[in-house]
Amino acid sequence: MTFSDTKQNHPDSHLERVPDFGCAPVGSDAEVRLAEIWETTPGWRGWFSTVDHKTIGLRYLVTAFIFLLIGGIEALIMRAQLALPEQSLLTPEQYNQLFTMHGVTMIFLYALPILSGFSNYLWPLLLGSRDMAFPRLNALSYWIFLFAGIFMYASFPLGQAPNAGWFNYVPFSGPIYNTGPNIDVFALGMVLLGISTTVGSINFIVSLFRMRAPGMTINKVPILVWGTLTASVANLIAIPAVSLAFFLLWLDRQVGTQFFDVANGGKPLLWQHLFWMFGHPWVYAIVLPAMGIVSDALPTFCRRPLVGYTAVALATMATMLLGFQVWIHHMFATGLPTVALSIFGAASMIISIPSAVAVFAWIATIWLGKPVFKTAFLFFAGFIFLFVVGGLSGVMTAAVSLDLQLNETYFIVAHLHYVLLGINVFPVIGGIYYWFPKFTGRMMSETLGKWSFWVMFIGFNIGFFPMHIAGLLGMPRRIYTYSSRMGWDSVNMITSIGSFIFAIGILIFLANILISLKRGALAGSNPWDAATLEWSTPSPPPAYNFAVIPVIASRHPLWEDRLNENSKRSSLTQGYLLMEGHETLGTSPIDAEPVTILKMPGDSYAPFFVGLFVSLFFVGLLLHWWYFAGMTAAACCITLVIWMWPRKSLAQRTAPKTAHLSGRSP
Amino acid sequence: MNHIFFLGASNAIVASAVEAPLNYFLHSYGPAAKPTMYLGWALAGLSVAICFIIALLLLTAIFRKRKTSNPHKIESEGKGLQWVYIGTGISTVILFVLVIYSLTVLNQVAKPSQTPSITITVTGYDWWWKVEYEHDDPAKRFITANEIHIPVGQSVLIKLKSADVIHAFWVPKLAGKTQMIPGLINQQWIQADVPGVYTGQCTQFCGVGHAHMSLEVVAESVEDFEKWQNAQRQPATQVLRAEQDSGYKLFMDRCAGCHAVRGTDAKGEHGPDLTHLNSRRRLAAGVLTNTPDHLMEWIGNAQLLKPGSRMPSFKLSESEISALALFLSTLD
Amino acid sequence: MNKVIHFEQQPLPVGSDGKLSTGWWGVLALIVTEGSLFGFLLFTYFYLSAQTEQQWPPEGLPNLLMPIINTAILLASSVFVWVSEYGIRHQKKYWSIGGMLIAVVLGFCFLKIQLIEWGEKSFDITSNLYGSLYFTITGFHLFHVIIGLAILLLLLVWTSLGYFDDKRYAAVTIGGAYWHFVDVVWLFVFTTLYVFPYL
């Protein structure tokens, strides 16, 4: 054991010191001490107070997946209703609530949170850090997400769920035409969820710029990190638009303002602008990290690094920059001048160029590599095909005059499902197959895995491809039934059959998870022989992630010896020890040079209670319990003050005396 | 396997497609829709071709033969960039051409080549369409509902309004859709080259009746159109004779609050104008064909046939039904 | 075998260190998203004012005297927050406490004057479109002022209790940055609501 000998510390050593550099193999005193410093208290106390990014990440994944299942069941009920013409399984109002909640659930409660789950779990592991920049904000972000999800479903059992579609156009969602609590639940729930997303985004951005392992310069971070960073920056800029829109709508409904009130000069189109200025960047926010999953995991199964790393990273950011310029393509039919339509139509076509970069980079990676046909690979390869289909139907809708036909028909439904299932769900499930060994220490069954892929892939295409044709046959979205004379019978029957096959695929996947959790083969730290940093930690990783903070020399720290590059080698077993409390290394934003030793906060109940009080505040607003709202707001502020209260000194939780090594000489 | 299924399925789909009344993709008529149809064919053909090429590339990339080598070997990073350059280059060229083509088509369909001869204002209601034929002479203006007649070969300007929430006017075989936004007057134009009946549909989600909000555009020869127009301009002519009938009284009592019949005291504006009810092809914005039996079925069971409709289901006695039917039969 | 990468061993600051602290980065990100929020609020104002046919503003042109004075008060408070931060960094604790105290007092003056402004309006938030916009936008800003004042008060308490010194003052920098943001964003709000109608 080499425990550093560089102890030439500054006189004021609690404010400045030379970090110890050395090894801490499993079972060494140093490693035991780290575990004691970082591990969460077991039991319910730890359950409510933990700020471990891995726990939070898994919670995000599980919660978001439950929402996916709920949204999926809603979809199946709708498909049963639409399987045959003129059925009356559902009333129109029930159907409207179902499709609205299906959209809200999938887009807001599943698609981004599941990616936040991956990023939360993986971010510090990919970057070589012991935690996120703001561990407690991380916990807060999860709790608010959970409470917002419950909030938005609160009126569902009463038959009063949101019913105006996920984009909730006024004046239909306004006080005159929608008098129940349906829309208020949606409006306040979205503002609440916006807090969670914003807080999470800030955390990702700051973590990326401050918490990378030394040597991991900005051009060495994994593409998933680029994707999540881009999505997070976009969220910071775009989320306020939708939060504001929903807040103004709530004011219109409950206070009597007139922003969208046509009779008094309000403008319904204002809603569409605000919503889509948010909505389009959001679409990219829920696919770019998923594309990052593929860009990072696909190379592992191709036994070579990604082709065109720089091009793909730049394409990711270019997509988002352009993504802010195309919101009007959701509004081509609103009667805007032809010139505006032309500009936004052209921009909407141009935005597929960065996507082409990624597609050809993936295909080249497979072509030049030696593919290993594991389940995850199948999901990623299938994803590439679905991405192309969804992308091409997107180009078709970017042609303005054609969009005036396709818009609001099933063609759009087909397009958005190819995009959201193809580019989000397939990489996500592939990603779970890929990282499950890291999450749990066990492998998933390959046999069940391949069954799940083929059933899902075939079911998906049978289910969703005919929707294109339904759209070309003129079937509008959001109709609860249709007449046989419209000629839509067979396409709808096929779609319904396909959607149930797809659901069976998801069930096989779930069964695989449950079985593998108990009986899967033990994984070891790097079962796929992958290249990135998370595979250098044990599976599952210990509470402190890295016994020593590694020093990184390339994008593929675990493949360096075999890549035969003439660059320096990463230092994985020797690194920064940092064990005087909850510590990790802060580095400079671009070059990742060590600049500070960060004292990380420990577990705390504050995030849970802040989340709870904020959510109860929104309950108060919803029910017009103004005193209750005031009290919860005050409670929230008090908890925040306790949270923020500085310590007298920077002393932190240290390990018990038994493992204290400070007196020991090397 | 998957694709074989598609082929079988698409045959069945094509068979049913022929009859689909909203099938703009294969059957568009008139200068406001045809260029878009050709654009759609070009884009769909191109998309299918690209899908096949990419699928082929992908399958070749996956299954092509490789020299067996040490499984632990990792290929080096640098190679393969030409894939990205060439692929992106070709995509960019294709997209550039598509931008130009699609903008050309947009300009073709944005405005009619000659000034429209007729202007119609269509107002969306929950869940039906009010249709007003404009004319410089106020006496020649008239109102109808859910059915628009146009002369073949002439461009028609349609002004779009909404009385409540956002709807969208879409007669896909004649033109793309335009939203009807309260507080705003949007415009579009249509022109039919061939006589016929073109179905339209509301395509902006507008509430419980959204699925049951369709309309019809009847394109007919100029003479037929003039004849129809002159007939529509007349007030209800036979009504006066029936004024003492119980059916008339029943109508005034129960229906006139919402419906208007020109030439009588019925002046309601919440529902469709019924002056020439029997001249129309369908009832209740497309729910039923317009026969006397269907009409009475509709009056008795509106909430069943079109749930949530503003029209209540009326419980009428046998004698009331026959009296009302007799009166309504005069509205032609 | 290639050489293993290595960084020179040198002393590093421990914990929150001014602009190296994560909190500083966090507040910058917060300012981006809050700035975006005000951007969309002002977009809403311009969108509606450009399309309206109503008398705009309904009372005629706004009186500028009190708002200008109030703007000056708010900007002055920013200066005193800066003084406070300067003081703590240069071991002048009483300068720091004094600066912060004056900043808080000025902030409360702004709040009070703004509430008087509200009271003098002949319309309220539900009277007309302009009223909805005026009270929502200034309300959003006032809410931020209140949050900012709470932060400044906490900083004042913490500084007085001796939590901060010339080595450890990140919280003052961070809280101060937020207050500066609240002040700068007021300039945009002021320009939009008070100056723009004159143009």
Is C8 an 8 Å CB contact of chain A?
A: no
Distances (CA, A) of C25 to A202, B22, C17, C104, C173: 9, 55, 12, 24, 11
**What local confidence, expressed as pLDDT, does residue A661 receive?**
38
Token pair 């700051």: residue: A206
Whether A562 and B84 lie within 8 Å, measured CB to CB: no
E strand or H helix that includes residue B177: none
Question: Does residue A325 lie in a domain region?
Answer: no
3-state secondary structure (DSSP) of residue A100: helix
Is there a single domain that holds both residue A514 and residue A568? Answer: no
Please, what is the average pLDDT of chain A? 92
- Structural domain of residue B267, as residue ranges? 246-328
Rounded to 5 degrees, what are φ and ψ at B16?
A: -75, -25
Report the DSSP pairing between strands A571-576 and A21-23: antiparallel
Cβ-count burial A354-376 (b if 16+ within 10 Å, e if not) = bbbbbbbbbbbbbbbbbbeebbb
CATH of the domain at C142: 1.20.120.80
Beta carbons of B169 and B112 less than 8 angstroms apart: no
Distances (CA, A) of B45 to A306, A397, A412, A663: 31, 14, 18, 76
Question: Does residue A120 lie in a domain region?
Answer: no
Average pLDDT for residues A150-178, to the nearest whole number? 95
- Structural domain of residue C153, as residue ranges? 66-198
**What local confidence, expressed as pLDDT, does residue A659 receive?**
37
Question: Does residue C38 lie in a domain region?
Answer: no
Enumerate residues 64 to 123 of chain C having a beta carbon within 8 A of any beta carbon in chain A: none
- The residues near A362 (Cβ < 8 Å, ≥ 6 apart) are A294, A295, A298, A380, A384
Distances (CA, A) of B58 to A73, A132, A221, A654: 33, 37, 27, 54
Is A21 an 8 Å CB contact of chain C?
A: yes
Whether C128 and A265 lie within 8 Å, measured CB to CB: yes
**What local confidence, expressed as pLDDT, does residue A137 receive?**
95
In the predicted structure, residue A221 carries a pLDDT above the cut 70: yes
**What local confidence, expressed as pLDDT, does residue B5 receive?**
47
Question: Does residue B164 lie in a domain region?
Answer: yes
Question: Does residue B71 lie in a domain region?
Answer: no
Report d(CA B329, CA B236) in Å as an integer.
11
Question: Does residue A558 lie in a domain region?
Answer: yes
Whether B54 and A384 lie within 8 Å, measured CB to CB: yes
Tokens (6 digits) for B47: 């998309």
Question: Does residue B5 lie in a domain region?
Answer: no
E strand or H helix that includes residue A541: none
Question: Does residue A430 lie in a domain region?
Answer: yes
Report d(CA B195, CA B74) in Å as an integer.
68
Q: Which of A523, A526, A537 is nearest to A559 (CA)?
A: A526
Question: Does residue B55 lie in a domain region?
Answer: yes
Question: Does residue B36 lie in a domain region?
Answer: yes
Is C163 an 8 Å CB contact of chain A?
A: yes
**A170, A596, A641, A644: which to substitute to probe chain C, counting the most C Cβ within 10 Å?**
A596
Q: Which of C110, C133, C108, C109 is nearest to C121 (CA)?
A: C133
Q: Outline where DSSP puts E strands in chain C.
A: 12-13
Give tens-digit pLDDT for B27-44.
999 999 999 999 999 999
In the predicted structure, residue C167 carries a pLDDT above the cut 50: yes
Domain count, chain C: 1
Question: Does residue C178 lie in a domain region?
Answer: yes
Domain count, chain A: 2
Q: What residues pair up with B178 in beta bridges, in sequence order?
A: B169
Beta carbons of A209 and A232 less than 8 angstroms apart: no
Question: Does residue A89 lie in a domain region?
Answer: no
Is A154 an 8 Å CB contact of chain B?
A: no
Among residues A539, A559, A591, the one where a domain terminates is: A539
Is there a single domain that holds both residue B97 and residue B124? Answer: no
**What local confidence, expressed as pLDDT, does residue B1 receive?**
41
Contact residues, chain A, for C2 at CB < 8 Å: 566-569
HSE (CB half, 13 Å, CA atoms) of C95?
14
Q: How many CB atoms sit inside 10 A of residue A241's CB?
A: 26
Average pLDDT for residues C98-105, to the nearest whole number? 96
Beta carbons of A186 and A162 less than 8 angstroms apart: yes
Whether A474 and B20 lie within 8 Å, measured CB to CB: yes
Is there a single domain that holds both residue B125 and residue B215? Answer: yes
Contact residues, chain B, for A172 at CB < 8 Å: 165-166, 205-207
DSSP for residue A228: H
**What local confidence, expressed as pLDDT, does residue B238 receive?**
72
Rounded to 5 degrees, what are φ and ψ at A587?
A: -125, 170
pLDDT tier for residue C155 given thresholds of 50, 70 and 90: very high
CATH of the domain at A396: 1.20.210.10
Q: How close C66 gets to chain A, by Cα (Å)?
A: 26
In the predicted structure, residue A336 carries a pLDDT above the cut 50: yes
Is there a single domain that holds both residue A488 and residue A374? Answer: yes
Beta carbons of A598 and C22 less than 8 angstroms apart: yes
Is there a single domain that holds both residue B95 and residue B129? Answer: no
Count of positions (residues) in chain A: 666
Report d(CA A236, CA A282) in Å as an integer.
11
The CA angle B26-B27-B28, to the nearest 5 degrees, is 115
**Which pTM was predicted?**
0.94
Is there a single domain that holds both residue A432 and residue A511? Answer: yes
**What local confidence, expressed as pLDDT, does residue A252 receive?**
96
Asked which of A158-167, A425-434, A444-453, B67-76 is least confident by mean pLDDT, the reply is B67-76
Is A593 an 8 Å CB contact of chain C?
A: yes
Report d(CA C39, CA C34) in Å as an integer.
8
Is there a single domain that holds both residue A507 and residue A625? Answer: no
- What's the start-to-end Cα distance of chain B, in Å? 57
Question: Does residue B294 lie in a domain region?
Answer: yes
Beta carbons of B160 and B185 less than 8 angstroms apart: yes
Among residues A539, A556, A579, the one where a domain terminates is: A539
**What local confidence, expressed as pLDDT, does residue A525 receive?**
94
Give tens-digit pLDDT for A20-61.
898 988 888 889 999 988 988 888 889 999 999 999 999 999
Is B186 an 8 Å CB contact of chain A?
A: yes
Question: Does residue A27 lie in a domain region?
Answer: yes
**What local confidence, expressed as pLDDT, does residue C10 receive?**
86
**What local confidence, expressed as pLDDT, does residue A451 receive?**
97
Q: How close A489 gets to chain B, by Cα (Å)?
A: 8
Contact residues, chain C, for A9 at CB < 8 Å: 11
Beta carbons of A173 and A164 less than 8 angstroms apart: yes
Closest partner residue to C125 (CB to CB) among A255, A265, A566 is: A255
Contact residues, chain B, for A475 at CB < 8 Å: 22
Asked which of A87-91, A243-247, C59-63 is least confident by mean pLDDT, the reply is C59-63
Report d(CA B66, CA A519) in Å as an integer.
35
Is there a single domain that holds both residue A397 and residue A363? Answer: yes
**What local confidence, expressed as pLDDT, does residue A10 receive?**
42
Q: In percent, how much of chain A has pLDDT > 90?
A: 86
**What local confidence, expressed as pLDDT, does residue C47 receive?**
96
Environment class of residue B91 by beta-carbon count within 10 Å: exposed (0-12), middle (13-18) or buried (19+)? Answer: buried
Q: What residues pair up with A249 in beta bridges, in sequence order?
A: none
3-state secondary structure (DSSP) of residue C37: helix
Is there a single domain that holds both residue B128 and residue B98? Answer: no
In the predicted structure, residue A646 carries a pLDDT above the cut 60: yes
Give tens-digit pLDDT for B93-103.
999 999 999 99
Closest partner residue to C52 (CB to CB) among A18, A243, A265 is: A265
Closest partner residue to A490 (CB to CB) among B12, B22, B103 is: B12
**What local confidence, expressed as pLDDT, does residue A660 receive?**
38
Is B20 an 8 Å CB contact of chain A?
A: yes
Q: Which of A625, A627, A632, A624 is nearest to A253 (CA)?
A: A624
Domain count, chain B: 3
Average pLDDT for residues C163-179, to the nearest whole number? 90
Q: How close A468 gets to chain B, by Cα (Å)?
A: 11
Q: How many CB atoms sit inside 10 A of residue A390's CB?
A: 22
DSSP for residue B139: G
In the predicted structure, residue A542 carries a pLDDT above the cut 70: yes
Beta carbons of B295 and B281 less than 8 angstroms apart: no
Is there a single domain that holds both residue B288 and residue B309? Answer: yes
Please, what is the average pLDDT of chain C? 92
Is A311 an 8 Å CB contact of chain B?
A: yes
pLDDT tier for residue A665 given thresholds of 50, 70 and 90: very low
Q: Which of A538, A519, A530 is nearest to A442 (CA)?
A: A519
Give tens-digit pLDDT for C3-58.
888 888 888 888 766 677 889 999 999 999 999 999 999 999 999 999 988 888 88
Question: Does residue A581 lie in a domain region?
Answer: yes
Average pLDDT for residues B95-112, to the nearest whole number? 95
- The residues near A527 (Cβ < 8 Å, ≥ 6 apart) are A437, A443, A539
HSE (CB half, 13 Å, CA atoms) of A330?
21
Report d(CA B77, CA A128) in Å as an integer.
22
Whether C40 and A277 lie within 8 Å, measured CB to CB: yes
Is there a single domain that holds both residue A522 and residue A554? Answer: no
Q: Which chains touch C (3 or more CB pairs under 8 A)?
A: A
Q: In percent, how much of chain A has pLDDT > 70?
A: 95
**B43, B57, B66, B75: which to substitute to probe chain A, counting the most A Cβ within 10 Å?**
B75
Enumerate residues 218 to 277 of chain A having a beta carbon within 8 A of any beta carbon in chain C: 236-241, 243-244, 248, 251, 255-259, 264-267, 270, 273-274, 277
Is there a single domain that holds both residue A510 and residue A553? Answer: no
The CA angle A121-A124-A126, to the nearest 5 degrees, is 90
Q: Which chains touch A (3 or more CB pairs under 8 A)?
A: B, C
Question: Does residue C12 lie in a domain region?
Answer: no
Beta carbons of C189 and C138 less than 8 angstroms apart: yes
Q: How close C142 gets to chain A, by Cα (Å)?
A: 16
Closest partner residue to B43 (CB to CB) among A169, A399, A562 is: A399
Question: Does residue C47 lie in a domain region?
Answer: no
Give tens-digit pLDDT for B143-179.
999 999 999 999 999 999 999 999 999 999 999 999 9
Is there a single domain that holds both residue B138 and residue B85? Answer: no
Question: Does residue C35 lie in a domain region?
Answer: no
Count of positions (residues) in chain B: 332
Question: Does residue B85 lie in a domain region?
Answer: yes
- The residues near B138 (Cβ < 8 Å, ≥ 6 apart) are none
- The residues near A347 (Cβ < 8 Å, ≥ 6 apart) are A322, A325, A326, A329
Question: Does residue B10 lie in a domain region?
Answer: no
Average pLDDT for residues C156-173, to the nearest whole number? 89
Whether A570 and C4 lie within 8 Å, measured CB to CB: yes
Average pLDDT for residues B254-270, to the nearest whole number? 92
Rounded to 5 degrees, what are φ and ψ at B188?
A: -150, 175
Question: Does residue A192 lie in a domain region?
Answer: no
Contact residues, chain A, for B172 at CB < 8 Å: 405, 474
**What local confidence, expressed as pLDDT, does residue C18 receive?**
64
Give tens-digit pLDDT for A263-310.
999 999 999 999 999 999 999 999 999 999 999 999 999 999 999 999
Report d(CA A101, CA A104) in Å as an integer.
5
In the predicted structure, residue B10 carries a pLDDT above the cut 60: no
Is there a single domain that holds both residue A560 and residue A482? Answer: no
Report d(CA A478, CA A470) in Å as an integer.
13
Q: How many CB atoms sit inside 10 A of residue C29's CB?
A: 22
Among residues A511, A539, A567, the one where a domain terminates is: A539
CATH of the domain at B304: 2.60.40.420
- The residues near C120 (Cβ < 8 Å, ≥ 6 apart) are none
- Structural domain of residue A523, as residue ranges? 332-539
Contact residues, chain C, for A257 at CB < 8 Å: 125-126, 132, 136
Is there a single domain that holds both residue A381 and residue A353? Answer: yes
Report d(CA B145, CA B131) in Å as an integer.
5
In the predicted structure, residue A9 carries a pLDDT above the cut 50: no
**What local confidence, expressed as pLDDT, does residue A631 receive?**
97
Q: Which of A459, A456, A390, A458 is nearest to A418 (CA)?
A: A390
Is there a single domain that holds both residue B153 and residue B97? Answer: no
- What's the start-to-end Cα distance of chain C, in Å? 71
Average pLDDT for residues B232-236, to the nearest whole number? 91
Question: Which one of A563-572, B239-248, C62-71 scores highest in mean pLDDT?
Answer: C62-71
The residue in chain A having the minimum alpha-carbon distance to the alpha carbon of residue C34 is A240
